[in-house]
Amino acid sequence: MGDIISFAYQYADSFALLALSSIGLVIIFGMMGVINMAHGEFMMIGAFGASFGFQWGLPLSLAIVTGVFAATAIGLLLERLVIRKLYGRLLYSLVATWGISLVLSQGALVLIGPSVPSLPNPFGTVSVGGMNFSVYRLFLVALAIALIVTLWALMRFTNFGLHARATMTEPDMAEALGVRTTRIYMVTFGLGAALAGFAGAIFGLSAQIQPTFGAAYTPIAFIVVVVAGSRNIIAGLLASALVLALVKTSFTVGFNILTGYVAMLVTALIIIRLSPTGILDLIGKLKALASQHRSSTAGTSAEETKNA
């Protein structure tokens, strides 16, 4: 029993880490097809902003908001100056954001220095049935779920969501219907940057805040995003994070952290080898296969009865 609870706790923790570190990247990729190589730097900016806000005497929650604002502002600025000029040219936008990433991380190092003061972690631990759980970790899980639900509601119920979905599937058609697609793209990029900044500020509560801060999260964010695909952003993100976290946790518990990490990568490679458009299509294929199998066995048994 204790093992099961401990596994569930670790699983939820992995899920939260994967979902939070990739959510901003997934939004931008899913909506615009752009791989934002500066994603990790947006996370870094969020953490730096939060640290500065806290040093200015803001309460922790407002300090985190400061971090989100900083990341959003820089995201919007870059969208106007660079990303907008490269719509539809995905490899170019990838390369350009990589250059931006280099400028941002190295710029932070030169202008601000190798590290800034850490943020305090207000969460303690709770003890349930003789086991200790970090409240911070549980908070991350709740936050990941809350963000995914909010995004889903945003896409499902708001005007922005409707326009965004239209822009994503049929950009020309949406434009013809009066949707200002450049506006949608700008808001999307800003939203992606904001979410990255938010995740960065939250992770900053427990990690050292350095210019290379984002580097710890970008590889896993990239893995989640290729597995998630771009067909349905939220369902893809959810399925991708749930499956990869399961693999990671299982192998971490069974062997060690490194094995868990490598196993997660190998799983991701297998998934995209089987279904290059992402995990949702793989699930769809498996379902189709199962129903085909069922109907074919049903068919043969019907024929057998007829023959008999």
Partner 1 sequence: MRELLNGRIEPGKGPVFWIVGALLVIGMLFLPGLVGRYTLLNFNSFLLMVFLATGLALLWGFCGVLSLGQSAFFGIGGYAYGIVAINLADSPWASLAGVAGGIVAAVVFAALLGWLTFYGHLRGVYVSIVTLVVTLVIESFLNQTAGPQWKIGTAHLGGNNGLGRFSGAAENIPSLTIPTGGGNSLVISGSSPTFYYVLIGLIVFTYLLLRALVNSRFGVALAAVREDPDRAETLGYDIRLLQSMTFCIGAALAAMSGLLYVAWGNFITPSVFGVTANVLPVIWVAVAGRKSLAAAILGAVVLQWGAQQLAISGGEWALIVQGALLVLVVLLLPEGLLSLRQQYSRMRDVRSSSLKSQSRQG
Q: Which residues bind partner 1 (CB under 8 A)?
A: 33, 35, 82, 85-86, 89-92, 94-96, 98-103, 106-107, 109-110, 215, 218-219, 222-223, 225-226, 258, 261-262, 265, 268-269, 272-274, 276
Minimum CB distance to partner 1, residue 256 (Å): 9
- Measured in degrees and rounded to the nearest 5, phi and psi for residue 136 equal -60, -45
| Residue spans of alpha helices (H) in the chain | 2-32, 39-55, 60-81, 90-111, 135-157, 159-169, 171-176, 181-203, 218-228, 233-254, 257-274, 279-307
Minimum CB distance to partner 1, residue 215 (Å): 7
Nearer to partner 1, 148 or 223 (CB): 223
Nearer to partner 1, 9 or 213 (CB): 213
- Give dist(CA 248, CA 260) in Å, integer: 4
Nearer to partner 1, 54 or 222 (CB): 222
Nearer to partner 1, 54 or 203 (CB): 203
Cβ atoms of residues 23 and 221 within 8 Å? no
Minimum CB distance to partner 1, residue 140 (Å): 22
Nearer to partner 1, 35 or 151 (CB): 35
- Give dist(CA 59, CA 213) in Å, integer: 22
Q: Which residues contact 300 (CB under 8 A, 6 or more apart)?
A: none
Nearer to partner 1, 99 or 124 (CB): 99
Q: Any idea which residue has 């992606």 for tokens?
A: 192
Minimum CB distance to partner 1, residue 14 (Å): 16
Minimum CB distance to partner 1, residue 269 (Å): 6
Exposure string over 123-160, b if 16+ CB within 10 A, otherwise e: eeeeeeeeeeebebbbebbebbeebbeebbeebeeeee
Minimum CB distance to partner 1, residue 307 (Å): 42
Angle between helices 2-32 and 181-203 (to 10 degrees): 150
